Amino acid sequence: MTNKIDFSQPLMVLAPLAGYTDLPFRAVVKKFGADITISEMISSNALVYKSEKTRKMIEKAPSEDPYIVQIAGNKPELVRDAVQILNDIDGIDGIDLNCGCPAPKVFNHGSGSNLLGDLKKLEEILTTVKKYNKKQYTTAKVRIGVNEKIPVEIAKVVEACGVDYIAVHGRTRAGKYKAPVDYDAIKAMKEAVSIPVIANGDITDYEKAKDVLAHTNADGLMIGRAAIGKPWIFYQLKHGIENITEQKKREIILEHFDEVLKFHGEHGAIMFRKLLHSYSKGYKGAAEFRDIINRVNDKQIMRDMIENFF
């Protein structure tokens, strides 16, 4: 089997973000520079109990290659069943275990970053994924602890489970999205293990991306929230250009609009409103534009407005 993931150059990975990194958005960042795309977080529970909505979330665009599906779970038998379901779905190249989500409903359920508070449990669940996964890659997304920072311990446990790479958000669970990202902790993890380490957390622009790579010596960057409203960050990193033209931005926004309509049908125009709120940030007349957009249902009118505004 040929290796679809090439670590000889720093990789650019789209982080899974609930409610944002759906198929249309992933298709756009893939086209403009992301090396790897990952599904939104899928509950093992929902997958095993045959949720239709969950099945739809796994669908991928033809261009998404390699494509990884991220699951969350805390019971070995449920995780095993979820992995076996994914094994039967074509077009998936890897399965990622979420060990980092700080959301209370995920944490209180024993999944996500909760696993970082019980490394034996983390090892049990991740080993289960590795054991039953018939896809090419097994990966894990972690934070650096629950309340205390224990980055190196976490990295060593994850490595021992036989994963292909580890993605690290440089905050504890307690740090949510507010505390400063600890890039030293990511660097320490990189030095402690021999598998590739991907840095994640507050990589907000081209300059910051360069600094984080240099500081951590990571094998790649995972970008999530900074790509919402600015997916061209992948284009900038891929092509090594700091400044991006307004024309290129407009092209990317329209591409995203078309993909949303293709995937979600007529309702896509209404769904695209919240995305235009992000895209228009910092533009002159943005508040007025958002006001009008909030009342537009017609896709042709919306498209014209996008072309005129950006």
Give 44-61 pLDDT, tens digit per residue. 999 999 888 899 999 999
Share of the chain above pLDDT 70, in %: 100
69 vs 241: CA distance, rounded Å: 30
210 vs 235: CA distance, rounded Å: 14
Averaged pLDDT, 118-147:
98
Residue 75 marked ligand-binding: no
Looking at domain 246-309, which CATH architecture does it have? Orthogonal Bundle (1.10)
- 224 - beta bridge partners? none
One fold for both 11-239 and 246-309? no
239 vs 251: CA distance, rounded Å: 16
8 Cβ neighbours under 8 A, 6+ residues apart = none
pLDDT band of 19, cuts 50, 70, 90: confident
Residues designated catalytic: 101
The answer to whether 302 and 257 have CB atoms below 8 angstroms apart is: yes
Map out the domains of the chain as residue ranges: 11-239, 246-309
H-run or E-run covering 297? none
Class at the top of the CATH hierarchy for domain 11-239: alpha beta
Residue 247 has pLDDT above 80, yes or no: yes
CA dihedral 98, 99, 101, 106 (to 10 degrees): 90
Residue 141 marked ligand-binding: yes
Q: What is the DSSP string of 64-128?
A: --SEEEEEE-S-HHHHHHHHHHHHTSTT--EEEEEE----HHHHTTT-GGGGGG-HHHHHHHHHH
Query: 222 in helix, strand or coil?
Result: strand
Indicate the angle between helix axes 183-192 and 206-216, nearest 10 degrees. 40
Q: Is the pTM of this model over 0.85?
A: yes
Residue 193 has pLDDT above 90, yes or no: yes
Residue 169 marked ligand-binding: yes
pLDDT band of 163, cuts 50, 70, 90: very high
- 223 - beta bridge partners? 14
Averaged pLDDT, 115-135:
98
Of the listed ranges 134-138, 179-183, 264-268, the one predicted with least confidence: 264-268
51 Cβ neighbours under 8 A, 6+ residues apart = 43
- 221 - beta bridge partners? 12, 199
Q: How far is CA 306 from CA 37, 90, 278, 292, 302, in A?
A: 26, 36, 13, 12, 6
